[in-house]
């Protein structure tokens, strides 16, 4: 299943990279993207959103925050690898210190102790690493199930999957349960932002595309701000607050 998913992502990205014809320079695949966006929206309305709303309603806030903290803390390992690949070597020990602090003092990552004691939170993925080394983003691309992306970031997702510790759980049923919980937790964190979006008289597809591309460009070009602005932006905020802030961009 892992191999199939990786091959599917690669095939989608490579095929769409070769058929970039459409209405504008940054979204030449808009007709196709809108169809995939509609498919994702239908799937979300039928399955993900109802489950996320039930999770948000029935599961106490403290537990939801703890689950979200665990997954976010596990993602710091991905960040550490990509910081190393980008030669941001001073950030690697910070990443590892955040991860180990939350694992040891935060009861396996349930509590965000690292932020409380002033350890900065950075977030990097392989798409950012490719961008760091000058790989162009390519056309905007909506991936089935995964949502907003670009050709470059689509090609980076299999590497991010390989760097995800939950992908190495041997028991398949447990691995899929953990993956499902991760998806539901992330979707539940977006409910508040979605309410604001639905209340606006806008084209949701265009809004999501433009805000995502703007946010992604900011992430790729963070080098000049990393020593000051980015650190001050993250310092002192809980992982829950950071996730909510990311969901609005």
Q: Where are the beta strands (DSSP E) in 92-232?
A: 140-143, 147-150
Residues 6+ positions from 214 with CB-CB distance below 8 Å: 249
The ranges assigned to domains in the chain are 23-247
Give pLDDT tens digits for 50-89. Answer: 999 999 999 999 999 999 999 999 999 999 999 999 999 9
- The model carries a pTM of 0.78
Task: Quote helix, strand, coil % in the chain, to nearest 5.
Answer: 70, 5, 25
More confident of the two residues 118 and 7: 118
Give pLDDT tens digits for 30-43. Answer: 999 999 999 999 99
């Amino acid at each position: 299943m892992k191999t199939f998913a990786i091959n599917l992502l690669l095939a989608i990205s490579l095929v769409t990279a070769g058929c970039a014809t459409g209405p504008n320079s940054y979204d030449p695949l808009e007709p196709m993207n809108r169809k995939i966006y509609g498919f994702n929206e239908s799937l979300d309305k039928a399955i993900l959103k109802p489950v996320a709303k039930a999770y948000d309603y029935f599961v106490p806030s403290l537990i939801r925050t703890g689950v979200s903290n665990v997954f976010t803390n596990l993602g710091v390992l991905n960040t550490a690898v990509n910081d190393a690949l980008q030669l941001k070597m001073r950030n690697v020990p910070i990443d590892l210190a955040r991860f180990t602090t939350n694992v040891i003092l935060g009861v396996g990552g349930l509590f965000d102790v690292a932020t409380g004691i002033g350890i900065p939170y950075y977030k990097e993925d392989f798409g950012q690493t490719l961008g760091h080394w000058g790989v162009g983003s390519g056309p905007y691309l909506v991936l089935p199930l995964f949502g907003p992306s670009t050709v470059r970031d689509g090609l980076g997702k299999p590497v991010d999957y390989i760097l995800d510790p939950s992908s190495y759980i041997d028991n398949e049923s447990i691995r899929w349960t953990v993956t499902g919980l991760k998806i539901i937790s992330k979707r539940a964190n977006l409910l508040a932002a979605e309410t604001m979006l639905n209340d606006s008289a806008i084209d949701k597809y265009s809004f999501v595309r433009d805000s995502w591309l703007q946010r992604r460009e900011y992430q790729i070009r963070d080098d000049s701000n990393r020593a000051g602005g980015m650190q001050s932006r993250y310092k002192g905020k809980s992982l829950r607050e950071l996730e909510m802030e990311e969901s609005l961009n």
